[in-house]
Amino acid sequence: MLAIIGIVVVFAAILAGFLMEKGHILVLMQPAELLIIAGAASGTLLVANPVRILKDILAGLISSMKGSPFTKARYLSTLKMMYQFLNKVRKEGLLAVETDVEKPGESAIFKNYSEFLNDHHARDFVCDTLRTAITGGVEPFDMDQMMELDMEVHHQASVQPADSLSTVADSLPGLGIVAAVLGVVITMGSLGGPPEEIGKHVAAALVGTFLGILLCYGVVGPLASGMKKLADEHNDYLHVLRVLLLAFLKGSAPMIAIELGRRAIPAYARPSFDEMEMSCKNKAPQAGAGAPAAAA
């Protein structure tokens, strides 16, 4: 939502300033220039990327419009889920959760946390790690190496759409110049005609440069940056899961493992120890203490 508001503010500020200087808004309406720039940018995107990345770009744009899902509430929910799961493992053993790991959608614990189940990367990250632990014979150090490799591969794939969109953003000023040059060519062909006609062609050429720069720094570039931040936040989320899983596999008690995971949460979304304990153990907030709140 903030992304949409930000784009609206960009266009509103520019148009308001233009009108304050007695500019005519219709002069900026140059469909041909927009077609040249947007069409050429779309073409370069198709040339440079396979279909899977194009799909990921679309999905990433939709996600960036919705905002980050990795709030304090999301982390508290995850810590509570893992506390319940690790307690079950401690009491009943790893073999008792084999069905939960093989079919997480049918797990008595996991099915209560739809955000986790819908995040197939995080779900598979946890289940694959536990499946390997159930199999046995893997040292915690080697397990950590596997989780780190998994995170590295996933993060590399998740930033590719943002990098591709950023490349398109970098090309937009150049494409704006292309549109402007074409406008100058048309203007040169109109020399000797009415001054008003020449003026319209010059204005159209300059609008081409304006649109290229505006779309680069005001729309596409920020969207690509937002997508990359979302990918980084998802990697931070996986890192929290990695820390608490590794701590438990090394022999730490569930609450200690969860506390280590809490310490790995980024500062902007990290709950306090009391908030975590109340959430994990379903305790009511103490007098004067606020209930856990989602970070904006």
Q: Write the pLDDT tens digit of every residue in 61-90.
A: 998 888 889 999 999 999 999 999 999 999
Count Cβ atoms within 10 A of the Cβ of residue 34 and give its class: 0-12 exposed, 13-18 middle, 19 or more buried.
middle
Cα–Cα distances (Å) from 106 to 3, 99, 114, 129, 132, in that order, read 36, 8, 12, 18, 20
Residue 24 belongs to some domain of the structure: no
pLDDT at 116: 93
Average pLDDT, the chain: 88
Residue 288 belongs to some domain of the structure: no
Q: Write the pLDDT tens digit of every residue in 184-219.
A: 888 887 777 787 778 788 888 889 899 999 999 999
- Is residue 285 predicted with pLDDT exceeding 50? no
pLDDT at 283: 59
Kindly state the average pLDDT of the residues 122-131. 93
- Is residue 242 predicted with pLDDT exceeding 90? yes
pLDDT-derived band of residue 274, with 50, 70 and 90 as boundaries? very high
Residue 52 belongs to some domain of the structure: yes
Range of the domain at 265: 32-281
- Is residue 294 predicted with pLDDT exceeding 50? no
pLDDT at 127: 93
Residue 25 belongs to some domain of the structure: no
The domain tally of the chain equals 1
DSSP alpha helix (H) spans, the chain: 2-20, 31-48, 51-66, 72-92, 98-102, 114-118, 120-135, 140-189, 195-215, 221-249, 254-263, 273-280
Q: pTM for the complete prediction?
A: 0.85
Asked whether 178 and 40 are in contact (CB, 8 A), the reply is: yes
Q: Write the pLDDT tens digit of every residue in 132-187.
A: 988 887 898 999 999 999 999 999 999 999 999 999 999 999 999 998 998 888 88
Residue 142 belongs to some domain of the structure: yes
Residue 1 belongs to some domain of the structure: no
Residue 296 belongs to some domain of the structure: no
Residue 101 belongs to some domain of the structure: yes
pLDDT at 211: 92
